[in-house]
Amino acid sequence: MLTGWAALAAAAVSFACTFFLRALPFLFLGRNKQIPSFIQYLGKALPAAIMAVLVIYCLRNIGIDDNGMKQVAAVLFTACIHIWKKNTYLSIITGTAFYMILIALAWLVSSNCGING
């Protein structure tokens, strides 16, 4: 656990790093320079690529058991909501809620049926 001064120092370092990283593009590109086409391409291509990598990473070790099917169903539900509404926050919130509901229903069914696990 951090002491008061250590927590303050950690917050100051975090602030300085965040501020520097946010200011870095303005330092290199300036206010009036055109953004290079390569950077514009990366701004369009990377979000989808990062999301694909995250989905693959999260689903890499799932099995065909009940828990794996819940995860796949939640990913498909989230993707459908995102394609339908094109709202990142809505798809994250509803996808998480859907997965939590699936887990709660599975627990409820298993506890009522006397199934251990």
Q: What is the mean pLDDT of residues 78-86?
A: 94
Q: Which amino acid is at 32?
A: N
Q: Tell me the C-alpha to C-alpha distance, in Å, between residue 29 and each of 22, 26, 32, 53.
A: 12, 5, 8, 29
pLDDT of residue 81: 95
Q: What is the mean pLDDT of residues 50-79?
A: 88
Q: Judging by beta carbons within 10 Å of its beta carbon (0-12, 13-18, 19+), is residue 32 exposed, middle or buried?
A: exposed
Q: Tell me the C-alpha to C-alpha distance, in Å, between residue 54 and each of 50, 86, 100, 106.
A: 6, 18, 19, 25
Contacts of 103 (CB under 8 A, 6+ apart): 70
Residue 32 gets the label, from left (phi > 0), alpha (psi -120 to 50) or beta, of: alpha
Confidence label for 114 from pLDDT (cuts 50, 70 and 90): low
pLDDT of residue 36: 83
> Rounded to two decimals, what is the model's pTM?
0.60
pLDDT of residue 115: 56
